[in-house]
């Protein structure tokens, strides 16, 4: 559901689309492309979700109920997440209007899903993030190529294992809680009461080998 293959490592996306079926299809397709996706169906919910979680990209329908998509765009533009506007109106004037609202990109309906995925990935690469290659001691994590190695040994990691490792390295020795890992490496559909983080962490530690690189601070979280 998140931390996908090359070019969209740990990308978190909010889909704001009032057509529930379309929103579900977009969300499912982006998840299959390896991204963590939450979906909401009106502008008020979009603003609330964006205030509660750090998204890399927001796929925003322009004609949202409750709070219009234009207002959502103006409110969120420049605040961190990149915004891709979706609309049935695809004329030049409409595109210009959307970009002037602060959107980073614009896609008219109907659209080819492959193009949507490509645009989301491109926007995610422009979102504020850690450097493309992270290093600590003999450990190297190449975020763009989705590769990790320790010394001369390449590591075969799952998406979630890679996402955890990436977050811990980006934190540069500061504590990362299990809740933060659950939020950013999984998504809002993950069960907060499960032991999925600790189980995945145990597998990651085994693959990293000795000497140990990840420290557990009981009751608080993990750090490199």
46-64 confidence digits (pLDDT tens): 999 988 877 889 999 988 9
pTM here? 0.56
20-30 confidence digits (pLDDT tens): 999 999 999 99
Per-residue exposure over 1-23, b if at least 16 CB sit within 10 Å of its own CB, e if not:
bbbbeebbbbbbbbbbbbeeebb
Spatial separation of the C-alpha atoms in residues 18 and 51, rounded to whole Å: 19
pLDDT band at 9 (very low <50, low <70, confident <90, very high): very low
Q: Of how many residues is the chain composed?
A: 224
The whole-number pLDDT of residue 192 equals 63
In the block, tokens 């491109």 appear at 122
Closest CA to 129 of 87, 182, 169, 175: 169
Q: How far is CA 100 from CA 13, 63, 77, 192, in A?
A: 22, 16, 10, 39
Give the mean model confidence (pLDDT) for residues 15-38. Answer: 93
Q: What is the distance between the terminal CA atoms of the chain, rounded to a whole angstrom?
A: 24
The whole-number pLDDT of residue 109 equals 86
The whole-number pLDDT of residue 115 equals 92
């Amino acid at each position: 559901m998140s931390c996908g293959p090359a070019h969209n490592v740990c990308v978190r996306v909010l889909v704001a689309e009032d057509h529930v079926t379309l929103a579900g299809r977009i969300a499912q397709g982006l998840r299959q492309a390896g991204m963590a996706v939450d979906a909401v169906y009106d502008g008020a919910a979009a603003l609330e979700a964006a205030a509660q979680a750090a998204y890399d990209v927001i796929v925003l329908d322009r004609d949202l109920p409750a709070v219009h998509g234009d207002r959502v765009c103006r409110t969120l533009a420049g605040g961190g997440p990149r915004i891709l506007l979706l609309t049935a109106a695809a004329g030049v004037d409409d595109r210009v209007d959307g970009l002037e609202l602060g959107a980073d990109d614009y896609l008219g309906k109907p659209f080819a899903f492959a193009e949507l995925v490509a645009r989301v990935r491109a926007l995610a690469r422009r979102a504020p993030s850690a450097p493309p290659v992270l290093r600590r001691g003999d450990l190297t994590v190449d975020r763009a190529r989705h590769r990790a190695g320790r010394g001369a040994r390449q590591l075969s990691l799952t998406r979630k294992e890679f996402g955890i490792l990436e977050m811990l390295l980006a934190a540069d020795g500061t504590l990362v809680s299990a809740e933060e890992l659950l939020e950013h490496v999984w998504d809002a559909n993950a069960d907060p009461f499960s032991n999925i983080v600790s189980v995945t962490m145990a597998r990651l530690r085994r693959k990293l080998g000795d000497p140990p690189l990840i420290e557990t601070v009981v009751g608080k979280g993990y750090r490199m």
